Amino acid sequence: MARRQRSAADSDTRTAESHTPSSPSRPPVVCLYLYRLEKRLVVSWATFEGAAAFLEYLAQDFKDPAAFRWIKHSVTRRTGIHWDHEGVRLEADSEEALEKLIETETSWELPEPYTGMIRQFLSDHVIEPDERSTEGRAARKPRRAPGEPKPPKAPSKSDTRPVGFVHISELVPDVPPPHARAALRKLAWAKPDYGWWFAQSDKDRVSKAIKGALK
């Protein structure tokens, strides 16, 4: 992970697009998976030189960037390296890709937004998830204490229907349910709170009304 020194005239002036992938025309050669505390960061690269610049920026302030150990993670099953003192784990698609990444030297200066991504990843500040995201909804959901039973579910509308009532799809099986509901709305029938459920004795009346409205 040592940077090879070059003169300014010999420095790599390629843009970020030269190293970052743009599939399918420029698919990635390596994908990096980083973990720290509860944070996770995934970045793909079209060149090992770009990935090496990312790795170098990541480890530049580590106490000893070379003091990592190789691991085979039991969950992801990917090969990775772990900096114990920093609490950072990095994994790659394959062991061969990770070895090549570590051996690659680069003089390319990592640009934004990747430097900002790394700073955020290494900081102790945790960004609150979007309220509309899966993580945000899970965070708002009250947590139950161990052994605490689940709260009873609120009854659905169909659970409040009178005993013995059947749904319109069963009462008039030869009419598609959307058409049957449209016919009832056309007839200005008031929809009960429990939905379009009727008594078996209403079958002839309901069927005749629906089919008449659909003519």
Task: Kindly state whether residue 185 falls inside one of the protein's structural domains.
Answer: yes
Higher pLDDT, 46 or 10: 46
| Domain shared by 41 and 87, yes or no | yes
Question: Does the pLDDT of residue 85 top 60, yes or no?
Answer: yes
Whether 161 and 116 map to the same domain: the answer is no
Domain membership of residue 35 (yes or no) is: yes
Q: Residue 193 belongs to what domain range?
A: 157-213
Q: How far apart are CA 166 and CA 163, in angstroms?
A: 9
* Predicted confidence (pLDDT) per residue in 148-180, tens digit: 787 777 666 666 788 888 888 888 888 888 898
Mean pLDDT along residues 195-215? 87
Cα 47 to Cα 106: distance, rounded to the nearest angstrom: 11
> Has residue 133 been placed in a domain?
no
Q: Do 116 and 165 sit in the same domain of this protein?
A: no
> pTM (2 decimals)?
0.55
Most confident of 17-26, 94-103, 122-131, 161-170: 94-103
Asked if residue 176 and residue 89 are part of one domain, the reply reads: no
Residues 162 and 89 in one domain: no
Which tokens in the block code for residue 56? Answer: 């170098």
User: 3-state DSSP call for residue 42?
Assistant: strand
Asked which of 102-111, 155-164, 189-198 is least confident by mean pLDDT, the reply is: 155-164
In this structure, of 72-76, 144-148, 173-177, 193-197, the range with the lowest mean pLDDT score is 144-148
**Choice among 78-82, 101-105, 147-151 with the minimum mean pLDDT:** 147-151
Collect all residues with Cβ–Cβ distance below 8 Å to 57 and sequence separation of at least 6: 110, 114, 115, 118
Does residue 186 lie in a domain region?
yes
Q: Of 72, 95, 122, which residue constitutes the final position of a domain?
A: 122
Same domain assignment for residues 177 and 110: no
4 versus 29: which is more confidently predicted?
29
Q: Are residues 118 and 168 in the same domain?
A: no
Domain boundary among 99, 122, 145: 122
Of 95, 122, 149, which residue sits at a domain end? 122
Dihedral (CA of 135, 137, 142, 144) sign: negative
CA nearest neighbour of 54 among 124, 120, 108: 108
Task: Indicate whether 139 belongs to any domain.
Answer: no
Residues 108, 165: one domain? Answer: no
Q: HEC profile for 113-145?
A: CHHHHHHHHHCCCCCCCCCCCHHHHHHHCCCCC
Q: Does residue 169 share a domain with residue 102?
A: no
- Whether 17 and 79 map to the same domain: the answer is yes
Residue 136 lies in a domain: no
Biggest CA-to-CA distance, the chain: 92
Q: Are residues 196 and 99 in the same domain?
A: no
User: In total, how many domains does the chain have?
Assistant: 2
| Strand duo 69-72 + 197-198: pairing | unpaired
* 28 within a domain of the structure (yes/no): yes
Whether 146 is in a domain gets the answer: no
CA distance 91 to 74: 12
